[in-house]
Structure 1
Amino acid sequence: MTSSATRTSITVPEAAADPRDAIFDTTEMEQQLGRRAGRASIFVLAISILKIAQQIGSIAIIARLIPPEDYGIFAMALPGVMIALALSNFGLPQAIVQRRTINHMHVSALFWLNLAFASVMMVVLAALAWPAAAYYGEPRVVPVFQVISLSLLFSAMSSQYLSILRRTLRIRAAELSTLVAELLGLAVAVIAALWGLSYWALVLQQLVTPILKTVFMAVQCRWWPSAPHNVRFRDAMGSVSFGGFVAGFAILHRLTEYSGTVVAGSFFTPAAAGLFYRARNLAGIPPLRLIIPLSGVFVPTLSRLQDTPEEFRRMFVRLISRANLALLPIAVFVAAASDPLVALLMGPDWSEAAPLLFWMSLFTLREGGTSGLQFAFIACGKSRALFGFAALRLVLVAGALAAGAQHGLLAMAVAYTLCELLITLPLMVAVAHRVTPISPRVFLAGSGLDMILAAALAAVLAWGVAPLVTGLPVLAQLVVLGAAVAGVYGVRVAISKDLRGDVRRVLESVLRRAKA
């Protein structure tokens, strides 16, 4: 009996934990969640300034090397690329960030599933080249679709590594890797454009950047998945269900974002598509470079608080209000200075983009609030509700674009912006109130009031101040309008004790780093 019992205890040893699971453990981070989230937010805001400068510089250079007609060929392919990219990720990277606990084998399963989805979408996107060419009546988009499809594999891998870094708030490593990769991708595009490769320079940039991101982030993570035959894919099915709705939301979101470019290319000309895309792209720099990187702080932070509604609401208001403090002044400045900005950054060939830029900039005033709500949906695991909202939003925006296009390109931009501000934003707040701790009152405290102030200021500057300085040189116009925006937001900070404290801490952090 004793011998048998001994043999039994020997043959069934206690399973040892995989040491690689420690990479995904957030226990230590949760003990200092507020402090780490604050430091990470400050770093993201600081490096976002560099990213904004990088992208504005990119626009200024590329716009002078590639005319609107050629740029439109590349822009026509982007909607398909972005939808395929959302499908290739299938929302699985978000599952890595959102789950309370996750281990190495689970993440390995998600990695290979992600890569499989990306491979399928790469083939689908390449095959869509011919239908797209027939739709646009432009055969030059065929090879563009086919070459860009290769980027999906590397984008899927880089997004997986990015989520691993974000889960434990390793924001510095994630953002620096992204910045360096994008700078090198821009360098490739500029060199190719100087060699006369036209829109192929943009295609190369779209391909090179995710390859570099994958390499840099893999080095930072020091993690590689287990081989597919060692992975239990069944354990990842819950994440696939969650990720499926996130992917569905991302697809619908991309369809909505790029629907204007598609309608412009269909109703008008490739040049019109290029103008609309570039105006939307330039106006979207502030949210792209500020809000989206901050998701690496918001989602993991809010995910850790999903079981404590009061703490969740308090953190939501804190994070979104601080993000808006950086985002909204830039958006207001772009709206007020749309004419001189287009003249300075893009040159005379793009002058028709100026009125489009004004309306697109007003649209971006909502980005802080809507992005915050999106992060709240994901942090609470409510991807199904987020998907449902996105489907309704697409229908509403498509209707607005179709109605506006009957009256010209500018009318289409106006209809798009007003629909997003006056219809889809209140709808999103209402849906969030049903499934997350965020009520309309909480949203107003975190974003709504600041957004209303920003819209009023943009209107006053664009229609009251900008006409008074039109006769000045372009740089002088930008200085005057920039000073007006800075003055108003300086007063906004001065009258808020919390904002004064945040600004003081940011300045102290910058000074400490400078002395070091």
Structure 2
Amino acid sequence: MITFIGFANTLVLARLLVPEDFGLVAIVMSISAIVFAVTELSLAQALVQHNAPTDSHYNTAFTLNLIRAAGVAIVLVVLSVPMAALYGDPRLVYGLMAIAVSSLVIGAINPKLAAMSRELVFWQDFATRSGDKLAAFLVAFLVAVIWQSYWALILGVIAGQMTSLILSYIICPYRPRFELSKWRDLMSFSIWVGLGQAVNTLNWRFDQLVLGYFLGNTALGYYSVGARLASLPTKEATRPVAAAAFPGFAKLAHDPERLRRAYQRAQSALMVVALPVGVGFAVAAEPLVLLVMGEKWLSSVVVIQVLASVFAIGTIATTVQPLALGMGQSRILFNRSLLNLGIRAPLTMAGLLSGGLVGLLVARCIVGFISIWINLYFVRELLGLSYSRQLLINRRSLIAVVVMAAAVYLAGTPFDGLGLGVQSLKAICMIAAGIVVYPAIVMLLWWCQGYPEGPEHDAMKLAKAILSKVSGRVFRR
């Protein structure tokens, strides 16, 4: 549901707005994201990792978050005028000021939600994220229909944040108090997480800021929308497992062998889901974009094709973050982010200046594969798992996705050159090919290997349990 809402939001707004609107808001959100990241405290992770948080810990987290939010708001207001002058667009002033006000909303969100995550209860995360995305979609849609302005994107974000704030206190009743007595206790863990998050955000936002400066809002609009669509399938498909991984790993931190098994089980489950979704979307991107978004967004197809594949393959070691957090090794995440930034920034600039948008995408590919090996290296350092063990656990998914990509591509070739009228049929055939071929190849390889432990085994157990429950109800009737 969350994935559907996210896609619908982007696709519907892409129909109603122009690429320049998305480019302008991408600059606003990139600047604000960097300011947020530089001041990141990561107190929610500190509360989850803490052995026995008290009310004083939650009150301290609430107070620190609110102080940080006020600081962010002031910085964004101060930056609004010089950033508008740098990019030559006075609309940035109003956009940054609006996000400055919304930062206070983020700072007031209920820290007690971390208590539920500690107990591996995640329905509240689903509820808040669903409410956030639904409110953002409805408000953005109404504003886009009425005014057809970039304000649809900004007001949608603010509406989503307000919804998250309200839901956080409905789901987990809590009356916060201003208190700072436990700040040392929380900051001792969160300082390295916060620094790592700051550097990581620079990694992910740097390209949008420089692209907007050198190529303008329209090119940035194609890139930002393409990148967002490319990341959504993989991100939303893997978020539930990633959310459960952190507290789960934290509980096993003192049992290395069980932790290794849990890590590989979570990682293989992520890959078996994320890989076909991301790669399949990349192969079928052109008919889907033409069908849903229209020809004006055709330039975003190459962005989706490249980045969706990179993001999907990158899930092979993405759980290094919850692993390091669960083990209390947050400094490793800072080192990883700093290393990635040192590689990504110069390659991004070189690619952009030498080849424009295409050069930037080539650089993203190179950086993506380097980042995969960096993640694999840190997993080896944390768990003692060799590169080969980390890769071989995902071999069935990797082989199956190659076969699936070929099948999806071939399913669309009979419709090439037949015009826009057949794009819906082309997209349906390509999606159907992926849905049939990928699971068939995965299960065939699983059978050939003698039914080893893995995500296929878990899926079969779940299917049997559901079938048993359904059949039991039928017979009772």
TM-score (norm: length of structure 2):
0.90
Pick the aligned partner of 1:491 from 434, 437, 441. Answer: 441
| Corresponding residue of 1:428 | 375
Q: Residue 128 of structure 1 aligns to a residue in which SS?
A: helix
What is the deviation of 1:418? 2.2
1:319 is displaced (CA, Å) by 1.3
Q: Give the letter for the 1:484 counterpart.
A: A
Equivalents in 1 of 2:444, 2:335: separation in Å? Answer: 41
Deviation at 1:167, TM superposition (A): 1.6
Equivalence for 1:115: 66
The whole-number CA distance in structure 1 between the counterparts of 2:314 and 2:250 is 20
Counterpart position of 1:453: 399
1:28 is aligned to: none
Describe the superposition over 1:270-324 as per-residue Cα deviations: whole angstroms up to 9, x where unpaired: 1011111011000010233132343321100001001111101111111121122
1:303 alignment partner AA: A
Distance in 2 of aligned mates of 1:159 and 1:471: 54
Conservation of the 8 A alpha-carbon contact between 2:306 and 2:365:
yes
> Residue type matched to 1:239 in 2?
L
The list of structure 1 runs, each at least 4 consecutive aligned residues, that deviate by more than 6 angstroms after superposition, is: 513-516
Going from structure 1 to structure 2, the CA distance change for 1:464 and 1:139 (only over 3 Å counts) comes to: same
Change in Cα spacing, 1:508 to 1:152, as seen in structure 2 (3 Å) is farther
Is the 8 Å Cα contact of residues 300 and 379 (structure 1) preserved in structure 2?
A: yes
Partner of 1:164: 115
Equivalent-residue separation in structure 1 for 2:415 and 2:110 (angstroms): 45
Aligned length: 461
CA–CA distance in structure 2, aligned partners of residues 137 and 385 of structure 1: 39
Contact 1:192–1:200 (CA<8 Å) still a contact in 2? yes
1:453-484, Cα deviation, whole Å (9 max, x unpaired): 37745763576654444246212222222233
Superposed, which structure 2 residues align to 1:182-193 within 5 Å? 182-193=133-144
> Secondary structure of 2:208's match?
helix
Instruction: Decide which of 170, 174, 195 is 1:223's aligned counterpart.
Output: 174
| Displacement after TM superposition at 1:491 (Å) | 2.2
Asked whether 1:196 is paired with 2:147, we answer yes
Gap change, CA 1:508 and 1:452, over 3 Å in 2 = closer
Whether 1:356 aligns to 2:312 is: no
CA distance in 2, matches of 1:222, 1:270: 43
- 1:85-105 C-alpha deviation (Å, 9 max, x unpaired): 334541111111122332221
Structure 2 counterpart of 1:98, one-letter code: Q
Cα distance change, pair 395–466 in 1 and its aligned pair in 2 (3 A): farther
1:206 partner amino acid: V
Report whether the alignment pairs 1:411 with 2:367: no
Q: 1:216 to 1:262 in 2, by over 3 A?
A: same
> Which residue, 209, 213, 221 being the options, matches 2:160?
209
Amino acid at match of 1:493: M
Residue of structure 1 equivalent to 2:30: 79
Following superposition, the deviation at residue 266 of structure 1 comes to 1.6
In the alignment, structure 1 residue 481 sits paired with structure 2 residue 430: yes
Whether contact under 8 Å (1:95, 1:242) holds in the other structure is yes
What is the CA distance between 1:131 and its match in structure 2?
A: 2.4
Is the contact between residue 246 and residue 322 of structure 2 (CA under 8 Å) also seen in structure 1? Answer: yes
Cα gap change, 1:232/1:352 in structure 2, threshold over 3 Å: closer, same or farther? closer
- 8 Å CA contact retained: 1:333, 1:482: yes
Contact 2:280 2:405 in 1 (8 A): no
For 1:325, the aligned partner's letter is V
- Mapped contact 1:164–1:221 kept (Cα < 8 A): no
1:130 aligns with 2:81: yes
- Percent pairwise identity: 24
How far apart, in 2, do the equivalents of 1:434 and 1:466 lie? 44
Sort the Cα spacing of 1:110 and 1:362 in 2 relative to 1 into closer, same or farther, 3 A. Answer: same
Name the counterpart of 1:398: 345
Match of 2:416 in 1: 470
- What is the CA distance between 1:67 and its match in structure 2? 0.4
Distance 2:461 2:296 in 1: 44
CA drift at 1:62? 0.3
Equivalent residues of 1:317, 1:442 under 8 A apart: no
Match of 2:4 in 1: 53
Task: Supply the distance in 1 between the matched residues of 2:19 and 2:405 (Cα, whole angstroms).
Answer: 28
- TM alignment of 1:147-158, pairs within 5 A: 147-158=98-109
Deviation at 1:160, TM superposition (A): 2.9
Task: Specify the SS of the correspondent of 1:150.
Answer: helix
Letter in 2 for 1:411: G
Q: CA deviation at 1:389?
A: 1.2
Aligned position for 1:504: 460
Q: For residue 474 of structure 1, what is the amino acid of its counterpart?
A: Q
The secondary structure found in structure 2 opposite 1:351 is: helix
The answer as to 2:286 corresponding to 1:330 is no
Which aligned pairs between 1:1-16 and structure 2 lie closer than 5 A? none
Structure 2 Cα separation of the partners of residues 52 and 189 of structure 1 = 17
Aligned to 1:178: 129
How far has the Cα of 1:506 moved from its partner?
4.1
Cα distance change, pair 185–411 in 1 and its aligned pair in 2 (3 A): same
Contact kept? 1:380, 1:436, Cα under 8 Å? no
Q: Distance in 2 between matches of 1:414 and 1:154?
A: 38
**Residues 500, 428 of structure 1: CA spacing in aligned structure 2 closer, same or farther, 3 A cutoff?**
closer
Q: Does structure 2 retain, via aligned residues, the 8 Å contact 1:63–1:346?
A: yes
Whole-angstrom CA distance in 2 between matches of 1:64 and 1:437: 49
Instruction: Tell whether the 8 Å contact from 1:88 to 1:152 is kept in structure 2 after alignment.
Output: no
Amino acid corresponding to residue 414 of structure 1 in structure 2: V
State the distance in 1 between where 2:29 and 2:74 align. 16
State the alpha-carbon separation in 2 of the partners of residues 435 and 429 from structure 1: 10
Structure 2 counterpart SS, 1:195: helix
Q: Does structure 1 residue 304 correspond to structure 2 residue 304? A: no
Q: Tell me the TM-score normalized by structure 1.
A: 0.83
Gaps of 5+ in 1: 1-49
From 374, 389, 407, give the equivalent of 2:336: 389
Q: SS of the counterpart of 2:355?
A: coil
Match of 2:230 in 1: 283
C-alpha distance 508-149 of structure 1, shift in aligned 2 (>3 A): farther
Cα deviations by residue, 1:415-455 (Å, 9 ceiling, x for unpaired): 2122211x1211222133224455424422455x3674377
User: Considering only aligned residues, what root-mean-square deviation do their CA atoms show, in Å?
Assistant: 2.5
Deviations 1:31-59 (A, max 9, x none): xxxxxxxxxxxxxxxxxxx1111112112
Please give the secondary structure, in 1, of the residue aligned with 2:318: helix
Measure how far apart 1:489 and its partner are. 2.7
Deviation at 1:183, TM superposition (A): 0.6
Q: Give the structure 2 partner of residue 41 of structure 1.
A: none
* AA aligned opposite 1:475: S
